[in-house]
């Protein structure tokens, strides 16, 4: 997603998914990402040879029957938003990308993530330009109190009970400095969640694509 750091593992999985769907779409399922992996093994692995980025891109393009260079330039080496292409490729199989709000107070309304245990509540990530980002909350800050109420594995409850109030977080910084941070919420929501769901209006071509891809009928089950 644009404008924020993401996990290379999550993004890598999405790139692989889109690559597979694009190859299948361009070859009517005659080739797929499986084909790419098989060719990599035969051309390089068996021969104990290493391969370059260029080798991989060339092989993907060969299997797809079209140049995939722009795909890699935009979404692997570049920072283009891959959401529209993800929605398009999922659509080949009659699927939709569904976005919904986080159920976690600190993520949804203030733009920060935490890890909690019996000893501490520490900030693990902050969404750029979110209220917490603008207020100066830092990664690895330990949240000690919310509006002077001690945090004891109850941060989300305290934030919920403080809705509508001016929010003061007391934090212990990594440098062991205690300070208060005032956070002003806004009308936006942060750290949305995503799910892939079936389009109930998927046409026959989409349903056939789904079956060729996953090996089961589109209506076989409600879930993927």
Q: How far is CA 202 from CA 94, 115, 146, 197, 223, in A?
A: 5, 40, 48, 11, 15
Instruction: Render pLDDT for 126-161 as a digit per residue (tens, 0 to 9).
Output: 999 999 999 999 999 999 999 999 999 999 999 999
- Residue 4 has a pLDDT of 45
The tens digit of pLDDT for each residue in 56-83 reads: 999 999 999 999 999 999 999 998 999 9
**CA count, 13 A, side-chain hemisphere, 176:** 0
Count of other CB atoms within 10 angstroms of residue 20:
18
Q: Identify whether the C-beta of residue 112 lies closer than 8 Å to the C-beta of residue 159.
A: no
What would the pLDDT profile of 5-38 be if each residue is shown by its tens digit?
567 888 999 999 999 999 999 999 999 999 999 9
**Helix H segments across 28-101?**
33-40, 53-64, 69-72, 83-92
* pLDDT 10s digits, 176-196: 999 999 999 899 999 999 999
Counting other chains too, the contacts that 1-9 makes at CB distance below 8 Å and 24 or more residues apart are: 1/81, 1/83, 2/79, 2/80, 2/81, 3/128, 3/129, 4/127, 4/128, 5/125
Conformational region of residue 72, where left means phi above 0, alpha means psi within -120 to 50, and beta covers everything else: alpha
Q: How far is CA 93 from CA 78, 105, 175, in A?
A: 26, 34, 51
pLDDT at position 2 is 42
Structural domains in the chain?
Answer: 8-100+197-214 (no CATH), 105-183 (2.30.42.10)
Q: Is the pLDDT of residue 3 over 70?
A: no
Q: If DSSP codes are grouped into helix, strand and coil, which group holds residue 47?
A: coil
Q: What is the pLDDT of residue 174?
A: 95
- Mind listing the pLDDT tens digit for each residue in 88-101? 999 999 999 999 99
């Amino acid at each position: 997603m644009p404008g924020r750091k993401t996990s290379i593992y999550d993004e890598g999985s999405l790139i692989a998914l889109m690559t597979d769907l694009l190859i299948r779409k361009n070859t009517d399922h005659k080739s797929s990402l499986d084909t790419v992996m098989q060719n990599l093994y035969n051309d390089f692995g068996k021969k104990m040879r290493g391969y370059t980025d260029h080798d991989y891109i060339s092989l993907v393009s060969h299997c797809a029957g079209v140049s995939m260079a722009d795909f890699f330039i935009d979404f692997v080496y570049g920072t283009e938003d891959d959401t529209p292409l993800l929605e398009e490729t999922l659509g080949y199989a009659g699927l939709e990308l569904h976005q919904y709000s986080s159920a976690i107070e600190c993520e949804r309304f203030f733009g920060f993530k935490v890890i909690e245990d019996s000893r501490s509540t520490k900030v693990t990530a902050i969404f750029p330009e979110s209220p917490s980002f603008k207020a100066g909350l830092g990664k690895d800050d330990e949240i000690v109190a919310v509006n002077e109420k001690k945090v004891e594995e109850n941060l989300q409850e305290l934030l919920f009970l403080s809705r509508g109030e001016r929010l003061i977080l007391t934090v212990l910084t990594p440098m062991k400095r205690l300070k208060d941070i005032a956070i002003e919420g806004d009308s936006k929501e942060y750290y949305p969640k995503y799910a892939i769901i079936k389009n109930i209006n998927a046409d026959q071509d989409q349903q056939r694509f789904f079956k060729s891809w996953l090996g089961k009928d589109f209506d076989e089950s409600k879930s993927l």
